[in-house]
Structures are given as C-alpha cells and as structure tokens.
Amino acid sequence: MRKTRFLYFLDRHETALAVLLLILGCALRLALLGQLPVGLNQDEASAGYEAWAILRYGMDRCGNACPVLLTAWGSGQNALMSYLAMPGVALLGLSELSTRLPNALSGCLTLFVFWRLARRTRGPRFGLTALLVLALNPWHIMLSRWGLESNLLPCFLLLGIWCLVLSRERPWALLGAGAAFGLSLYAYGTAFFFLPPFLLLAALRLRRELRLAPSLCALGLFGLLALPIAGAQLISALGLHTVEVFGLTLPKLTEGRQAATSVFGGGGLAAAIQNLRDLGQLLWTQSDGLIWNALPVWQGGLLYFFGLPTAVLGLGASVFQRRDRTLEAHLRDAVWCGLLCAALISGNINRLNMLWLPLVYFSALGIHLLLSRLGDWAALPVAGLLACCLLFSVHYVRAFGGGGNVNYFPGLGEAIQAAEALEERPIYITSTVNQPYIFALFYARVPPDCFVDTVEYQDENAAFRQVERFAGYEFRDIEAARVCICWGGQEQGAVLGRYGVFALCVPETP
C-alpha cells in the first residue's frame, strides 16, 4: 500500500498521538467525576458505603466481617469494587468522587492495555485506530463514570487476556492471568458463566506454548482466589449458613442473583431462545431501555450508529484472514462465550458487559480496514468520529448533569445532610426513592453496627429487602407536617429548602 501523507504523519508522530488520545480518553472518564452524573445511583451508594464501613469498622452493613460477597439488599452485591474504593475513601473521605474512582481508573487502565494489545497484534497504525475508537466509545465512557460494581469486569477480563498473550513469550505471565481471572469473579457473578468455556478454549489455543511449572502455579493462584467466592455462591445455592473462615465471611444471601437472572432459575430452552432474541434487539437498537447504560443510538448508543456494521466487518476479516494472531483468537473466543452467556442470562447492557469490549475491538478493526483504503481521505472519517463523540458528550451532560436526572436522585444527599443538621427525629424520606435507606447511610455516615441494631425490614428474607426504619429514619410518605424529604411539589408543611428534585420540609412554627 502506497504510503500517503496521512499515513506518514501517523507513523512519524505515533507516540505523541497515542499520548494525546490517552489524555483525551482519561479526561472523558475523569473530568468532573464527582459532579457528573449529578447525585448517586442506589447501587453505587451501596458499594461506596460498604467500602467506608469495612474500612472504618471492619464490617459491612449486615454485620459481616470482611465479606467476600456483600449481602447488600439481600440477594447480594459484588465486593471487589468496594475493596478497591477503600484507598480513595481513606484519602478523600466517602463521597461521589471516591466511590466512582475505581471504575474511572480501571477505564483509563483499559485504554492503555487495549492500545498495547492492538499495537502488538496489527502494528502501530491499528494500535492508534483501536485506541481512538475505545477512547471515544460511548458505552465505555458511561461505564467508567458511575460506580456500578459490575462495570469492573471488562477491565479484569482484558488484563487476563493481555497476560495470556504475553505468556507465549514470557511463560510466567500466566500468573497475572490467573490473578486477573480470579479477581474477575469478585467483580461480577456472570464471570462464573463466562470463564469456564473461555479458559478451556484459551488452554486449547495455547497448549503448545504452555509450560508445566507456570501453568500449575497460575492454576493454583486462580483456584486459591476463586475458592472463597465460589464457596459463598455455594452456600446461598444450597441454603447453608453463613461461614467465617480465616477472618473472611462467606455470607448466606436471601436469594442467589444468578438463579434469579439466568435460565437456571426456570424457563429452560425457551428462556434461552428469548434471551438471544433480546440480545438481537439490544444490538440492533444499541439500547436496553436503561438510560444509565446507554443513551439512544442517535445520541451515541453502545458503539455509535456505525459500530455494529464495522464490528461485523472486523470479526469477519479476523475469522477469514489465516494468520497467527493470538489476541484476536482470544477475543473471538470472548465473543462466542459472551453469546453463550447471553443465552443463559436475562440480559441488559451491564449484565452482558463481557461482550462489548471485544465488539469494540472488532469495530476498530473494521474501521481500520476501511481507513486503509481511503488514503489521505482517511482524515475525514476520523474527524467524523470526533464529531460523534462531541455530540454524545453534549447529550450526556444534558441527560446526567442537571436536576432532571432522577435516576441518580440529584440533591437527595444535600437534603439528608441538611435534615441531619436540624437534629430533630424522626426524619422521613419518601419511599418513592429506590432503596432510600442506603442514601441515609451514605450521607449521614451511620455506623454499620448502629444500622444492624436498629433496622426493621418489611421482609427480612426478600431478595430486595425494603427498610422501614432505623436509628431515627423512616422511609414512607406521610400526611402530617414533620421533618421529611420528598419529591419537590409533594411536600407538606413549610419548605426549609429545595435540593435538586427534592424538598426538605419542616413543621410550621406556631
């Protein structure tokens, strides 16, 4: 292929361009992290509070010491993000920023690893293309900017794949793969569906390069890391009692989340077929209807409007080009295993997040193949991709940067802190908030032992336990004029102050 001026520019300034793209990608994931989205989602409030509680008191809000799996709402929450949030919480205090830092930093790390892997596989130019596509990808930007604990899974799977690729030349890199894959089980429970077939395919692909000592050590490390979380899952599946061993707690959940969200909870083949149909609809629309997972496709979607066709092009090219590219083989395996998971899991974007990073790679490959035929005109599609990201960023700020963003309950934290300052009890918080008690725990910094001693549930054995009251807080809508936090316009009595979409109300002074 003739070397055009555009390609000459890329080759000459590769390092500088890569650094600029890394800076841009990190800025999109870190800028105003504590203020955008405004407020907190209940799941990230839960993960952040647990990090603070375990760090300061050595127990989660259910009284479990150093749990390997958080009981949380009753049916469980993955613990890895809470443990990774502890350094930020220790340095910065419990806040929206410290809660979201693990996901944002893992997103930035993913950018670097993704670039290095792509560069290693198809050369510097493709490395830059892949880095550009991931840096500007709307799904990955959104994933990195809120503290859903399952959002860590793609990063740890990619780290494991990186170590598998490195192991062909450095056999002891398999230890890194064992560690990354083992920790991924604590990032999201869907890894239990994804890893068995993926690791089997990886072992078959690497069978000629595997050496006995590194392989056994990596397998032992993976097993050692997997044993506690596997034990916790087994306890819940069999209905056994909570176990404490070596200072860790393997809790019994009220209901196993995998059973509730997979075909193993019922439905069989018909449910698997329906799950695949739902995946097809999700891929076509690039949305699962949950705005915190993806904006509408015309505002960005998962991969932008051109993402799915270019991913199909790139995946097809990877399959039919008969070359030894270990990374692409592992990523193709990740796609097939992700599709298997999609059949087993009642999916949405975050439940199937093991699938999207490989699709971003193959979308980048498809774009790269098209750009390679355009010569100097390749600069125009690159400019178009930047324009798409700019449009997405505008819509993202509009959707999550103001008081209308009810999914993150903007102003609820400020209202709770203002109510605390009044030193009057009880404080009522509207039950129309999703799990309002976790926001009281987060913003009022209630010690977990105090919560354990005073909490009253509607049903202690429910999958998502609803709290009626604890330690001077009650969670229901009331008619009488008391100190209460409610949706703006629904208040009774005098309004002390408005906070986002919430109002803090206090009794009229006689």
Domain boundaries, the chain: 5-21+50-400, 407-506
3-state secondary structure of 20: helix
More confident of the two residues 74 and 493: 74
Q: What is the pLDDT of residue 325?
A: 74
Reply yes or no on whether the pLDDT at 477 is more than 80: no
Q: What is the pLDDT of residues 333-390, one digit of tens each?
A: 999 999 999 999 887 999 999 999 999 999 999 999 999 888 778 889 999 999 999 9
Sign of the alpha-carbon torsion through 9, 10, 11, 15: positive
Helix axes 5-12, 124-135, angle to 10 degrees: 90
Asked if 111 contacts 131 with a C-beta cutoff of 8 angstroms, the reply is yes
Nearest 5°: the CA angle 287, 464, 39 is 55
Reply yes or no on whether the pLDDT at 1 is more than 50: no
Reply yes or no on whether the pLDDT at 404 is more than 90: no
Reply yes or no on whether the pLDDT at 448 is more than 80: yes
Per-residue pLDDT, averaged over 411-425, amounts to 91
The residue to which tokens 């599709």 are assigned: 339
Question: In the Cβ-directed half-sphere of 305, how many Cα atoms lie within 13 Å?
Answer: 9
Reply yes or no on whether the pLDDT at 322 is more than 80: no
Per-residue pLDDT, averaged over 241-255, amounts to 91
Q: What is the pLDDT of residue 483?
A: 85
pLDDT band at 183 (very low <50, low <70, confident <90, very high): very high
Average pLDDT of every residue of the chain: 90
Q: What is the pLDDT of residues 201-224, one digit of tens each?
A: 999 998 888 899 999 999 999 999
Asked if 470 contacts 372 with a C-beta cutoff of 8 angstroms, the reply is no
Alpha carbon distance 122, 352 (integer Å)? 27
3-state secondary structure of 456: strand
In sequence order, which residues have a C-beta less than 8 Å from that of residue 439 and are 6 or more positions away? 40, 42, 45, 409, 412, 413, 416, 429, 433
Q: What is the pLDDT of residues 278-302, one digit of tens each?
A: 999 999 999 998 899 999 999 999 9
Reply yes or no on whether the pLDDT at 32 is more than 90: yes
Q: What is the pLDDT of residue 35?
A: 92
pTM over the 0.85 mark: yes
pLDDT band at 11 (very low <50, low <70, confident <90, very high): confident
Q: What is the pLDDT of residue 346?
A: 83
Reply yes or no on whether the pLDDT at 403 is more than 80: no
- Which of 34-43, 117-126, 186-195, 493-502 is predicted least confidently? 493-502
Per-residue pLDDT, averaged over 117-145, amounts to 95
Per-residue pLDDT, averaged over 97-118, amounts to 97
